[in-house]
Structure 1
Amino acid sequence: MYTLLVVDDEKWVRQGLSLTIDWLSEGIELIGEAEDGEEALTRILNESPDIIITDIKMPRMDGLDLMEALRNRPKKVYVIIISGYSDFEYAQKALKYGAYDYVLKPIEETALLEVVRRCVSDLDRENERRHHLTEMSGRIRESLPLARQHFLEMLLLGGIVDPPSELEAKWQALNMTLNPHALTVLAVKIHLWGPKASGEKDRSWIRMALANIAEEIAAGRGQAVACPIDHNADAEMVVLFSGDSSYDNKKKRRKYAFPDEMKAIIDAAKRYLGLTISIGISGPGSMTELAQCYEEALHACSNAFYDGFGKVYDSAQLSVQAYKPHAYVGPDGSWETRVHQAMKLGDDGAIHEGVDLLIEHAQSARERISPLHVSRGIRLLLQSLGQKWEAAHPYRTAPGIDRFNETVVNADLPLAQLGDALRHALLHCASESRGSGHRTRIVELGMQFSHQHYMKGITMNDAAEHLFLNPSYFSKVFHEEAGETYSKYLIRLRMNKAKQLLKTSSLKIYEIADQVGYADFRHFSKTFKEIEGVTPGQYRDLGI
């Protein structure tokens, strides 16, 4: 409903306009009348009408003066001028002043309504546009942090090669509060996530909480912006800092105790989030040098692999060599092949020797290879070893290889702890390989049958029947040899297949449930959530 004020010095004209037209049916509320511009202006300031119908010639303040007085008001008002033939030149002048339209006297109801209806239609469009702009502004405000994060992530990873002038324009457009010419990069690595990180969604929230803590503490020295980084093995978050970055380039030393604030971030992460983190600090640089600064911060932070977690590693305090990019391949190019062979043969002595050789070689490699490249290389070596073992045991994926992946490959361990964890996991896999003859063969054949028929809704009884065994005996042997019940093994197998389909296909949830052996997709969804901590739909949305 729009509001209308009628202004005319003749009472009969005002009453005629007020009484002869059904304004409510036109979506308009008549809020009153005024006999000249001065009275009208007072009412306008108090009641803020949307539409004004005014005579052009009136005593004290006429229609033109009234329009002039309204010109600088923040809210637009639509003014319809009433004009006689002799006042036509005034009407034209009023249009130049911004009048919406004019109606000649004597006033014809149809002509006036035609102008008023156009005015209402334009008001509708104006309000719709304003509402759209408000919504769009809200979306921009909401998406601005994501746009900033994407922009910073691209700069840090070297994904933007725009000229400096364009980069600075984008920097300003994203309302970045940092000085683009005096930046320090802090690489934050989360080593131990603690009990609150049961799934990827939890980890995402923890990264955001850690970002807030880091920004608040680092801001004690200047401006700070945290940028969480997903799916990165070297760092979970970067903090960009600009402020009192006093830095002696000749001595490569900071003139203030900036690492003190970083230690406060490490302590707060432990106290409030249960995290064990390390922080690497780069030297100063501009926004065009962020990729180099980020790499420098990563190199600094990677010293935690040798010297321990929960510390600040400042590139200004480290005697870091100018390492050439050099991939660490282990003691030689065949280390994982030899260790894999020892595992297959169940040769515990050779396994011990292989682990000791790797740890000793990694320790000595620090003198010539960056800790960052050493830790990356060892991670790849261990992944390759695990893949070789799985390829040699296509139906026996548990529990040995699962323990190896959980406690070594997917665990972030310093070099001082890596040897014992690796040795224990490999010896466990080797003991499985030795097995116990006929009983091991039963488990292998049971797993093979499961992989071939899991999509058909098979049970433990079906597997036992296929092997011509008593179900109780098969269940007992499977549990003792595999380290888990057949039912748990079958559920895990089906869940792994379901996760593959959720990642790689566009099948609906009930179709995936059917393909992995669940006739009731509700039972499938419930089981999936119990194991993974999220529903199948959430798992797909998170892109885990």
Structure 2
Amino acid sequence: MFNVLVVDDEPLICKGLSSLLASSGLEIGHIYTANSGFEALDCIRMEEVDLLVTDIQMGAMSGIELMQHAKLAKPWVQTIVISAHETFQYAQMAVRLGAKDYLIKPLNSEHFLDSVRNVLLKMDKPSPELATFMAGIGESFRLEEPLPEYSKLLNALIEEPASVMGEEEKLRKLDELKLQGPFFSVIKIKLPPPEAAGEKKYTSRDRELLRYAALNIAKELLDQEWCTVAFYSPEEEITVIIQWDERTYEESAAGQINRLDVLGRSLHLNIQKYLHLNAVIGISQILKGLSFMDVLNRQASKAIQWNKEHSDYYVFYYGDFNWSSYAADPSAEELYTHNNLIVQKAKAYIDENYAQKGLTIHEVAKKNHVSPNYLSYLFKKNTGHNLWEYVIKLRMEDSREMILHTDLRRYEIAERVGYESPEHFSKIFKKYYGISPSELKK
């Protein structure tokens, strides 16, 4: 059963779509509704949501912004966008963020349910090639090496670009691969020994198939919205080169690192889901020019090495580690001190700003110069609870004190602890304490 969240700033639309879904006969467990982006984001953080159906134009947070924050919180959440305007720019942005459909109001009921049905049907299914592999037809499965004539060239490019850049024929081949950039990032996927997942002994053929399946998963995820080249590298790694042209990069330069983080987590989650392996993902920074490809390659490889220090964490962004502060790789003690400092600073920032409307994990992470994913991991590891749970804890404790010891009205208390509507505040309060604000007051 799948859980669906419907978001629209018009309550009647939320109610209508919820009723339509409830009577559709689809495999839907819970249907949640929200009337703003911030309310929806709280729901995504606190509930198990599989599909987000959102209006694109809403008050303080648009549907596009909601999609961005939702993907950061839970990369596996799928999205269908609805809009009153057939605007190409909105549709293009929605597709880039992975929207599965873009529907125009007024909605056709049959069309809407078909769209939801298609998304839910595909949600648990791998690609046809991967499905064949997973069915266990190992011996008859025919492997087709990805870009075999270029693998050697691509590995040479990411290791020693200078040796490749001067040869006209090689540059022509690179152009055929559409490695034009000019902005690039490198992602490394390192598969663990399959034996680590259980007692089964894997043959070299099994390992070859697992690697091929992992590449298939990566290509399926990447082909939807990224301009990429994926290929095999030494040490049984898979390398992915991601690129942006000038216009695409400038459109959302500030958000590209977050999107890479989401992609890394999606790669890990899908490889774990279908192959039952905890792949380690290393993500480089973004640099301009093919001549920096060896730098990006080293960054992605170095990021992967941090799995030795964080064995329960699998997606590493090079920029999360303050390399320039150390003459050599930091010791375990230095790393522990540095991580504690990040958490202390994040906690101090939240203590001071928890009542701010529109506060996001992204904002807290930005103040610490780390990715939201890594900050969330460190915060949970060091404090024992989720970062957003800590924000809610402070808001709820503060509001409880005001309810018990002041004559402030519900909307005033909601305003003071960072909620844009008293209804949203009451919903969170009741979920947290088990009773409504008015019941507590009595």
Task: Give the alignment's TM-score, normalised by structure 1.
Answer: 0.30
TM-score by length of 2: 0.37
Give the number of the structure with larger relative contact order, counting CA–CA contacts within 8 Å between residues 6 or more apart.
2
Higher alpha-carbon Rg: 1
